[in-house]
Each structure stands twice: as structure tokens, then as C-alpha cells.
Structure 1
């Protein structure tokens, strides 16, 4: 790996100063509508333990859909390949909260990263326990992976998600009608809203995702998180589905597996090298961080990190 990682991160960060505030915050979730769109943070953690940071890398933000990477990890550990009987692996080509495909495909979502698929994954994580225990498991998993014992849920955001999550209720009830949810809709969705309301920093998020850069093994602690096969599966779905109907464009511009969230964060994996987290709350027209995507494009190019 080039020795000038810190210089490149600082250079990209400085270039983003002129773009701070671009995009539009997720104002359909009231608690996110008040976030300062001019925030920008960038953090890289490498497999050999080096870090490089810029800007608001230590400011907590709402993880939102990036949490789906970690619930997918938990679900694969619980169900293995049987998970794919309940959720697909194909890009949807549709908005993250679309209901259109579900009826034609009999309640089986296209992939685990659109909202319908993530709700099914949460249903799997809920197996054999109540809502409180499932939420604690997801939170504690993030705490351990991020080496952040104080990482917690923003209860205001969770309540805000629940109060405005009408489409998610529609998706969940629709799948329940096809017997693709096994638990009560309210329990599944309250778990889902809480996992999306976790607060995390860029530094913590990059650290938490590092196991995906090392075939499922946390290279800093030596702990096996998932099997190499499951790590490859997660990375593949991040590459093809991690940015919803803009996943192809992200692969074209950045060339790395990534998962976005409407809180403005993006987790990106550099296989065998590093994990990257960026945060800029302003979103583009398809709901991904506008400035964050630009920063990742420039960072990947200068570090020669594309998988292609």
C-alpha cells in the first residue's frame, strides 16, 4: 500500500471543502432533517492497523441503511445459505422502498439491502428472542466490531423513523401476507427502526467494516467474524446492490464494494487493504451522499484501489 495514505486522505478532504453542503438532507425523516448538511468526515482503517482521517471523522451520525451490512452478517451466521430462500441476490433497479416487485415475486425481495430485503433479514435476526434482545445483539455486535463500547441508539431518530415509516409498514405487511415474515410486523419493524438509528462515527464505522476487507477475519483482533465465503458474498452484494438503483454508477466511478445510508454515510471496502467510511449528509437524487461519493471516487483513483 502506498505510504502516502494520510497525505491522499488530507488532499481529498481539502478538495471537498469547496463542496460542503451540496445535496439535500433526508428531510422525510424529521430527526434527520435538522442535520447540518455542511458536515464532512472521512476515515480509513487499514488491515495493518494504520488510520487516516479528515474533518468530522469523530462526529456521530445516524447509520441508517449501512446497518444492513451488519444485520446481514448476523443473519448469515444464523441461517447460512438457507437465507437465500427468503431474499434474493439481484439488483432491484428500483427505489430502496419500492413495493412494485414484491407482488410479482410473491413477497421475496430482490436483495438484502433494499428495505423489504433488510426487513426480512431483521426478521431472521429476531428468531428465538424478543425485540429487546435482538436490538441489543445488533448494537453489541457493532460495539465489538467498532471497538466502541459507548456506541448506542439515537432514540429520537428511532421514534422519528417509526412515526414516518408508513412504506416500511406496507412492505412488512405485504411480505407477512406471503408468509415471508415469521414474527409480528410491529416487532420486526421496531427492531429495524432501532438498528437504523444507531449513532456511529466515520472512524468507528471503518473499524467495524474491516473484517470484510480480510475475508471475514478481523485483522486487528484476530477474531473470526464470518467465514471467508460469507464475507465474499456480503462484498459482492455491496458491490451490486449497495447503492440501490445507482449501484452500477458507484461501481463505475469508485470500483469498490460499498453501502450507503440516507444519514449521509457510506461504508466502502478495499479487499485485502482497508475499510473506508465517509459522511456528508447532503444526498443526491437517488438518496446517496453526494459529496461522500465524490470523495470516494477521488480517493480510490489516487490510491489505485478499484477492484477492476
Structure 2
């Protein structure tokens, strides 16, 4: 299959969609993204790479970071983690307070904001002041790239405007589901969301989930096969918030989006993909990125269904 020509077809077919969607504006620093940016990368588990668009351009990974923190927390706590965060789809927006209130401060899954804040809290219990550097080190390991870092301007912008996330953490603290200092937890959470990567690096970083937990390029076991299966299943059912069912229906791959405009996806035993386009749909997922992945699975037949 000629993946490079398929990427070129996709790039051509998504052009009319650039009139739709809008760049995230609730974090002012994210508004600076170029609304016409587009990139898509494929990395196969045997090391072949295919890229199109601005695939070297770094962007804020935002909620894609939740895959890494959940993986680290699952590795450290295994089933114990599920006492603090569930593994069911939420059906609500990613920053909803309503469900959290009537479910006693236990978030539905680790990919909504409340759930990711809980996983960050659990990592702070383990790594203390070294938590963010451990998260960054882990991302460098999964992507086999030591140049990755975070953007201080985006981090500060999130700190200044993250009122909803502050509400979430305080609500969970009132239910005794946050063990550490809320300021430290929320700062670490915002910092991990501000990590900057490009589609090439992100596709590499997801290869371990396409390969039963083993990074195929370095041959390093990142996580065991059973846990990799669970992470993939949660990416399929919860990776796109209240649009997760729609993404599974149209794309049919485990994936995770971020409001920075990135989406990662996994084709088990074959490849990892990443697409970037910063204009979002109503659910906060990349509008063009979602369509590009739908076109990819339609053209290649590489869906899990």
C-alpha cells in the first residue's frame, strides 16, 4: 500500500474543510496557532515513516498527555488506580462538573480533565517534586527523542485561565479523592498539557501501544501487553470525550485528541498515526484531523472493525 500517496490524497480532499471549526480560545496562548496548519504522520512498527504537511512543527499536545500519565499511573498502581478513577465513557464534555458531583468525586475515566488530574495526583504521591520531569522523561523514552520540552507561555496562560480545572480539583479534594496539595497537582497537570511535540514525534510515541506495549524501534518494553490492551480500549471508548462514539463509528481506531489540534491513533500490530490541525469541532477535537483519520481508514481498510 502506498501510504505517501494516500496522505497526499487526504491532504487534497480536506481542503474545503478549512472554512469550518475554530481554534481553541479559552487558553489565550493557544489562539496563536495558525488555523491553516495541517500535518499528518504515519510510523509503522517496522520503522517506515510517511509524512505530509508541517510535520516538523511543534504544537501543544494538551490532552494527548493524558495517555502518557495514565500509562505511568497504571504501571505504578495497576488495578488500585481504579479506586480513584473509573474506566467508563462519560458522555459529557471533557471539563464537566455535573457528573463528578453526583458520582462523589470519582471521575469516569482518565481521559476527561478530572480523571487526568487524579492520575497526575497519583503520580505526585509516587514521584513527589520530580513528577513533571518523570512524565517528560517517559515521553522522551516512548518517542525515542530527547529534545522534547514544554512551552512556558502556554503553561502560564493555562494557570491564569484554568478556572474550570481549578473547580474540578477542588470538588474532588472535597470528596477526598485528591491526596496532594491542589496547587502542586494543578501546576503539574498544566505543565504536562503544555508539552510541545510534532506529528512525527507523537506518532513515534504511540508505537508501543500499536505493538503490545513494546517500543519496536528501541525494543524496550514500556508496559505489559495486558495494560497496553486496556489503554487502547480506553482510547477507543473515551479518547474523544462526548464524541468518542462518533469517532469509533467513523474512524474505528483507538485514539486521543487534544485541544491544541493534535490527534494520535493506533492501528494494532501495524502503525501509529498523528494528525494536526488546530481548528476544533464543537466537542473540542480537531475537525480536520478527525476527517483525515476517517478518510485514512476508509481508503486503507485499516480499522479495528
- Say whether the fold is shared (TM-score over 0.5): yes
Deviation track 1:80-133 (CA, whole Å, cap 9, x = no partner) reads 1111111111111101000101121111000000000000000111124334x1
* 1:296 matched to 2:289: no
The aligned counterpart of 1:29 is 27
Runs of at least 4 residues off by over 6 Å: none
Distance apart, 1:142 and its partner CA: 1.1
Equivalenced residues, count: 305
> What is the DSSP-based 3-state SS (H/G/I as helix, E as strand, rest coil) of the residue aligned with 1:126?
helix
Within 5 Å, which residues of 2 pair with 1:204-219?
Answer: 204-219=201-216
CA contact (8 A) 1:64 1:197 kept: yes
1:1-308 alignment runs, 5 A limit: 2=1, 4-20=2-18, 22-131=20-129, 133-308=130-305
For structure 2, the 5+ residue unaligned runs are none
Q: Secondary structure at the match of 2:275?
A: strand
Provide the secondary structure at the position in 2 that maps to 1:129.
helix
Contact 2:127 2:134 (8 Å CA) reproduced: no
2:33 and 2:169 map into 1 onto residues whose CA distance is: 28
Secondary structure of 1:54's aligned partner:
strand
Task: Please report the TM-score for the alignment, with normalisation by the length of structure 1.
Answer: 0.97
**Aligned-partner Cα distance in 1 for 2:207–2:131:** 23
Q: CA offsets per residue over residues 178-229 of structure 1, 9 Å max, x none?
A: 1111100001000000000000000000000100001101111110000101
CA distance in 2, matches of 1:9, 1:221: 26
Give the TM-score, by structure 2 length.
0.98
Judged with a 3 Å threshold, the aligned counterparts in structure 2 of structure 1 residues 192 and 14 are, in CA distance, closer, same or farther, namely same
CA distance in 2: counterparts of 1:73 and 1:207, whole angstroms? 16
Q: Secondary structure of the residue that 1:277 maps to in structure 2?
A: strand
Please give the alpha-carbon distance, in whole angstroms, between the structure 2 residues aligned to 1:21 and 1:114: 28
Matched-pair contact (CA < 8 Å) for 1:45–1:275: yes
Contact 1:260–1:289 under 8 Å retained in 2 = yes
Q: CA RMSD in A?
A: 1.0
State whether residues 40 and 278 of structure 1, in contact with CA within 8 Å, keep that contact through their aligned partners in structure 2: yes
Q: 2:84–2:106: 8 Å Cα contact kept in structure 1?
A: yes
Q: Distance in 1 between matches of 2:139 and 2:110?
A: 18
Following superposition, the deviation at residue 147 of structure 1 comes to 2.1
Deviation at 1:21, TM superposition (A): 5.4
d(CA) in 2 for partners of 1:284, 1:170: 24
